Structure 1
């Protein structure tokens, strides 16, 4: 596991709950070269006096050099964490999902707010529809398989599609390739409710067709 040492005084924002650690705040990163070069590698973040601060996903290719997973030293970053956080995020939005129009895009996971930095997930059509995911950071991209497994189990929706924001992913040193991760790819054109009106949209890209 990598060890990130923070410059003196820069630990205050982490302790205050800021989930992002910028390159400018880091004194040094210790660990095997292959781990340092792998976007999303798990790291222990420590202060200049070597006190534990956080567990984070490190990415040498991003200006946001690390994204905090947890401030708890006794909470490992593993499959169980991903499952818990996916389940908790969906449970928080269960009422909204149940009451939503089947043609509405409902946000299920909102990145840092749900302890899954860089992950966005929207649902369309309920359990028989589609989940559209964006893995916009190295950490969640590295844990993509357990995250998708947890989504399938928590929602019962069999179709999971990865939508790629090329600019964001390239900034993280990640490949930008949109594809079905489970089940079927959404159709190119679906009617999506936006307030009181329906508009034709390609939910794979977010493109709204002119009416």
Structure 2
């Protein structure tokens, strides 16, 4: 466990609910050296007077040094929290997912808005299609296995693919990897309809071309 002490006066944004902590706001980080260097390590965030502020995922290689998991001191960062956040996000996006046609992409999880900082999850083809995940921060990357398990259990989809945004992951100090996390890889090209317009989409990269 790491302890992040915030500079005096810099805790105002956290108290207002801002989930991002920048290096300029941090007075010191205490803990084991290997934990400090591991992207996504859980840290207790405290004020200069040692008052609890949050629990966050720390990443020494990111411009955003820490991303808040919870402001609740009684809530640990564990499998139950991750599973619950995924379930809540899926429940929120369920109406849109149910209405979606087979050739539409639906955003199931939208990062900080769903309490999962840096995680983007899209669905294509419904239960028999693919879940496309982007792990854009150290915290969600460290909980990748638990997230994928919760996604598969919550959607019934057997095919989960990790897409890699190289620029973002380089900035987070994360390895540049992509590929199937479960089941089969998606095809190189699918036809997607968005706003009445058809696109050719590569689910693996996110690259699209509008049909003329």
TM bracket (short chain): over 0.9
What residue in structure 2 maps to residue 39 of structure 1?
Answer: 39
**Which blocks of at least 5 consecutive residues in structure 2 are unaligned?**
none
Aligned counterparts of 1:54 and 1:208: Cα–Cα separation in 2:
39
TM-score (structure 1 length as normaliser): 0.99
What residue in structure 2 maps to residue 180 of structure 1?
Answer: 180
Aligned counterparts of 1:57 and 1:49: Cα–Cα separation in 2:
21
Aligned counterparts of 1:103 and 1:109: Cα–Cα separation in 2:
19
Task: Say whether 1:123 aligns with 2:132.
Answer: no
Question: What is the aligned residue count?
Answer: 211
Tell me how far 1:203 sits from its aligned partner: 1.2
Runs ≥4 residues deviating over 3 A: none
Q: How far does the alpha carbon of each residue in 1:31-59 deviate from its partner, in whole angstroms, 9 at most, with x for none?
A: 00000000000000000000000000000
SS of aligned partner of 1:93: helix
Tell me how far 1:210 sits from its aligned partner: 5.5
Task: Say whether 1:53 aligns with 2:58.
Answer: no
Task: Say whether 1:79 aligns with 2:76.
Answer: no
What residue in structure 2 maps to residue 160 of structure 1?
Answer: 160
Aligned counterparts of 1:50 and 1:12: Cα–Cα separation in 2:
15
Tell me how far 1:197 sits from its aligned partner: 2.1
State the Cα RMSD in Å.
0.7
Aligned counterparts of 1:17 and 1:139: Cα–Cα separation in 2:
18
Aligned counterparts of 1:185 and 1:209: Cα–Cα separation in 2:
20
TM-score (structure 2 length as normaliser): 0.98
Q: How far does the alpha carbon of each residue in 1:100-152 deviate from its partner, in whole angstroms, 9 at most, with x for none?
A: 11110100000000000000000001000000000000000000000000000
Task: Say whether 1:147 aligns with 2:140.
Answer: no
SS of aligned partner of 2:53: strand
What residue in structure 1 maps to residue 29 of structure 2?
Answer: 29
**Which blocks of at least 5 consecutive residues in structure 1 are unaligned?**
none
Aligned counterparts of 2:100 and 2:66: Cα–Cα separation in 1:
35
